[in-house]
Amino acid sequence: MINKLNSKIIQSRRSTYPRDFNGNRIKDSVIKEILENANHAPSHRMTQPWFFKIFCDHKKISLANAIINTNPHSSESFKKKIFENFEQTSHLICICMKRHKTIVPEWEEIAATSMSVQNIWLSIVNSEIGGYWSTPKYAENLNEFLKLSTDERCLGFFYLGIVNSFSIRDISRNNVNDKTTW
Ligand SMILES: Cc1cc2nc3c(=O)[nH]c(=O)nc-3n(C[C@H](O)[C@H](O)[C@H](O)COP(=O)(O)O)c2cc1C
């Protein structure tokens, strides 16, 4: 038997977007606890490829400007959306991955980093905090701003914010039996 609480937590995990954030700030101590959970993800050969860059307060403005400046053709509506979303968001966690080329294949390190993101996501279940993983194309253009070296990569941003009331949302999955053979 598994603990039903585990299933409840896993099945309650959901994406919540900046439009539902109230703009209030999450305490850094809470962010640190979430990151501690992220750091408990598994990785093959314990390469622990994940690392994080946190953007809050004025650093969100620097990030927004970097996104806009590295996309010279970005429209006015794109710029407006970025600033609006960032204002609603308390902290953006930039999800980064360091490759250990000679030790394990890339997919295993993307998988391990994704598991650290899942830990972030599960950490906020049943709390006043909402969030989601955003993987925009422009993340590829930010290496210089993020000071990433050639063996490092940005895998998007995890947006975190405080939510007054979670919108009702039921994104159902296809039946697991159709995805399983015994
Ligand atoms: C690897 C990955 C990348 C994602 N990238 C985006 C994204 O760029 N934009 C977005 O709106 N949602 C993104 N999402 C969130 C998914 O849209 C969301 O998880 C999915 O709709 C299921 O909703 P749920 O998380 O509430 O169960 C991403 C999720 C994953 C796992």
Atom 29 of ligand 1: nearest residue by CA position: 133
Per-residue pLDDT 10s for the chain (182 aa) are 999 999 999 999 999 999 999 999 999 999 999 999 999 999 999 999 999 999 999 999 999 999 999 987 889 999 999 999 999 999 999 999 999 999 999 999 999 999 999 999 999 999 999 999 999 999 999 999 999 999 999 999 999 999 999 988 878 999 999 999 99
Atom 7 of ligand 1: nearest residue by CA position: 134
Q: Looking at the domain assignment, is residue 126 inside a domain?
A: yes
The number of distinct structural domains making up the chain is 1
Whole-number pLDDT of residue 71:
87
Residues composing the chain: 182
Q: Looking at the domain assignment, is residue 93 inside a domain?
A: yes
Q: Looking at the domain assignment, is residue 153 inside a domain?
A: yes
Atom 6 of ligand 1: nearest residue by CA position: 134
Q: Looking at the domain assignment, is residue 86 inside a domain?
A: yes
**pTM (2 d.p.):** 0.97
Token reading at 82 = 């970025």
Whole-number pLDDT of residue 116:
99
Q: Looking at the domain assignment, is residue 94 inside a domain?
A: yes
Q: Give distance in angstroms: CA of 1 to centre of ligand 1.
A: 30
Q: Looking at the domain assignment, is residue 7 inside a domain?
A: no
What is the domain range of residue 142?
14-164
Whole-number pLDDT of residue 170:
78
Residue 74's DSSP bridge partners are none
Whole-number pLDDT of residue 168:
86
Q: Give distance in angstroms: CA of 116 to centre of ligand 1.
A: 15
The 3-class secondary structure across 55-79, one letter per residue, is EECHHHHHHHHHHHHCCCCCCHHHH
Whole-number pLDDT of residue 6:
98
Q: Looking at the domain assignment, is residue 169 inside a domain?
A: no
Q: Give distance in angstroms: CA of 159 to centre of ligand 1.
A: 11
Whole-number pLDDT of residue 52:
98
Read off the CATH number of the domain in which 153 is found: 3.40.109.10
Residue 44 has phi, psi (to 5 degrees) of: -65, 135
Whole-number pLDDT of residue 82:
97
Residue 37 has phi, psi (to 5 degrees) of: -65, -40
Atom 12 of ligand 1: nearest residue by CA position: 134
Q: Looking at the domain assignment, is residue 3 inside a domain?
A: no
